[in-house]
Amino acid sequence: MKLIVHNLKLSLDDGIDELKAMAIKKAGVKENNLKDFKIVKESIDARKKPHINIVYSVTLEIQDGVRIRKDNDIRVLEDVEEEPLIPGNKKLKDRPVVIGTGPAGLFAGLVLAQNGYRPLLLERGECVEKRTELVNRYWKTGELDPNTNVQFGEGGAGTFSDGKLTTRINDRRCTKVLEEFFKSGAPEEILYRAKPHIGSDILGRVVMNLRKRIIDYGGDVRFNAKVTSINIGDGKLKSVIVNESEEIPCEVVVLAIGHSARDTFKMLYDKGVPFAQKPFSIGVRIEHPQDIINRAQYGEAAGHPRLGADYQIFKKLEKRTVYSFCMCPGGVVVASASEPGTIVTNGMSEFARDKQNANSALVVSVEPEDFGSGHPLAGVEFQRKWKRLAYEVGGSSNSAPVQRLEDFIEGRASTRLGSVKPSYTGSVELADINKCLPIYVTDSMKECIEFFDSKIRGFAMKDALLTGVETRTSSPVRILRGDSLEAIGIQGLYPAGEGAGYAGGIMSAAVDGIRIAEEIIKAYSYGD
């Protein structure tokens, strides 16, 4: 018999032995009745500072016939068998092709491979090992490879991030994503932490292992294989063109190109793939000392090794929303351009989250009416405009503009750094970030600073450091798809993930990739 026991509250200094003993006592059984014990959820309760608890849910496997205590926090779990995927009636002549190896592409490829479909994954950039070398070179020298960078290459944009696995979606596939990450080398705690993350120092190895597993299941992965065109005939996908010369016949393609593939967006649009504008958000990265965030969140308990504070704050204004995004405790601000003559920022943390600064995107929502055009790709040009301005404001030398918060609010260029030193992975230039963002964005940010300070004491510190600009909170487009998850009007073309406008972050992108793979399997059969 298997039970789940909720609401087990332990102190910060309690360990696994105390947790097991508490669960057994709550269930009213003896330790020799216990066959298995497993943590399924762990979260921090800091509502009554300084008394902070860690709250657990666990499963207990108990010997049959043992009576358990009745309690609202205890429930008997029934075994639920997952329905097998049954291949559809349409026969594929060619193996499925997956374009892109971010979370959506990798998980679509993994599920297809696990079910015998031998997918071919095409990635415009390098494998993660070589990609890391090229990204480090860009951070050090400013030398940008347009096909292998923080946005492009094996693992997608998430490889150089905090590796957050939190999501607002409630989908059974989330469990599979976590389990497959764990099988590929992610820490076991991602299976039960309320806010799981992998960390940039571990993500590369995990991505590499996912690739190896796809190959072990019969798939293939090709790097430096940029899809430069697709062929469509009679409303059906016929083939893809790689590197402008190689034609690969295919009836099914998973289009998992990521949110930054501007050249691919244009190619697809020119080929008749249906696009629509999509709202997103732009702003800056803001840095504070991590100690200030810890004290604001945990008071006297700040600094405990089990506590590393993050935050998520927002304020709804009359026309816009201002909010934090992709907060990276103990992390660094990352140079993330994928096009020359632009500056783009992102955030990254290692698993330990032990760097001096906390950083987060501080962004403002923008709508299609802000783009200045009704063209489906107008959001792409809107992003480019502010990225190029950031490049110019930073001195046109690949330096990111940085500014103290006090100077930003007063509308003057910073002439010195304060107590917060920039963690940016490239070079920086003291500047006025007001000059590289729309005035309605900067005014909205300024309007909310004091409110955010009321939620996170110290947020409005004068020396908090802004780095411009953050423009890639999500895709500026949506590739329209129907009930079958195929692009409207094009049989066999399956837009997936964040780049297609159906996800926001690693988890939701991976889940969407799995959904696409399942839909392909339900429609088509492949092999003997």
Q: What are the backbone dihedrals phi and psi of residue 143, each rounded to the nearest 5 degrees, phi first?
A: -80, 110
H-run or E-run covering 237: strand 236-242
Q: What is the mean pLDDT of residues 349-373?
A: 96
Largest CA distance in the chain: 74
Alpha-carbon span 492 to 499, nearest angstrom: 18
Q: What is the mean pLDDT of residues 224-232?
A: 98
Note the CATH number of domain 2-77: 3.30.70.2700
Q: Which amino acid, residue 146?
A: P
Query: Count of H helices and E strands in the chain?
Result: 11, 25
**pLDDT value of position 74:** 95
3-state secondary structure 123-190: CCCCCHHHHHHHHHHHHHHCCCCCCCCCCCCCCCHHHHCCCECCCCCCCCHHHHHHHHHHHCCCCHHH
**pLDDT value of position 309:** 81
Q: What is the mean pLDDT of residues 136-160?
A: 96
**For residue range 441-473, what is the model confidence (pLDDT) as tens digits?**
999 999 999 999 999 999 999 999 999 999 999
**pLDDT value of position 300:** 87
Residue 525: pLDDT over 90: yes
**pLDDT value of position 527:** 83
The answer to whether 101 and 158 are in contact (CB under 8 A) is no
pLDDT band at 84; cut points 50, 70, 90: confident
3-state secondary structure 320-388: CEEEEEEEECCCEEEECCCCCCCCCEEEECCCCCCCCEEEEEEEEEECHHHCCCCCCCHHHHHHHHHHH
**pLDDT value of position 248:** 98
Share of the chain above pLDDT 70, in %: 100
The answer to whether 176 and 362 are in contact (CB under 8 A) is no
Alpha-carbon span 156 to 148, nearest angstrom: 10
Distance of CA 71 to the CA centre of its chain: 38
Residue with tokens 């392909």: 520
Which CB contacts under 8 angstroms, 24+ apart, belong to 373-376? Answer: 374/277, 376/269, 376/275, 376/276, 376/277, 376/477
Among candidate residues 138, 503, 99, 103, the one with its CA nearest the CA of residue 263? 99
pLDDT band at 14; cut points 50, 70, 90: very high
123 Cβ neighbours under 8 A, 6+ residues apart: 100, 101, 105, 153, 154, 221, 222, 223, 224, 225
- State the first-to-last Cα distance of the chain, in angstroms, to the nearest integer: 41
Residue with tokens 């497993």: 38
Q: Which amino acid, residue 309?
A: A
**For residue range 280-303, what is the model confidence (pLDDT) as tens digits?**
999 999 999 999 999 999 988 888
368: which 2 tokens?
A: 């299609």
Q: What is the dihedral of CA 484, 278, 147, 488, to 10 degrees?
A: 20
Alpha-carbon span 311 to 292, nearest angstrom: 12
Domain ranges of the chain: 2-77, 90-275+477-525, 279-470
List C-alpha distances in Å: 413 to 222, 409, 452.
47, 10, 23
**pLDDT value of position 82:** 78
**For residue range 429-449, what is the model confidence (pLDDT) as tens digits?**
999 999 999 999 999 999 999
Q: What are the backbone dihedrals phi and psi of residue 526, each rounded to the nearest 5 degrees, phi first?
A: -145, 140
**pLDDT value of position 80:** 77
Give the chain's mean pLDDT: 95
Instruction: Please identify, in words, the CATH class of the domain defined by 90-275+477-525.
Output: alpha beta
Q: Which residues, listed in sequence order, are joined to residue 229 by a DSSP beta bridge?
A: 241
**For residue range 233-277, what is the model confidence (pLDDT) as tens digits?**
999 999 999 999 999 999 999 999 999 999 999 999 999 999 999
- Over the range 268-300, which residues count as b (16 or more CB within 10 Å of their CB) and which as e? bbeeebbbebbbbbbbbbbbbbbebbbbbbbee
Among candidate residues 408, 373, 389, the one with its CA nearest the CA of residue 277? 373
Q: What is the mean pLDDT of residues 487-495?
A: 98
Q: In the chain, helix, strand, coil percent, each to 5?
A: 30, 25, 40
**For residue range 23-42, what is the model confidence (pLDDT) as tens digits?**
999 999 999 999 999 999 99
**Sign of the torsion angle spanned by Cα atoms 371, 372, 376, 381:** negative
Distance of CA 207 to the CA centre of its chain: 14
**pLDDT value of position 49:** 81
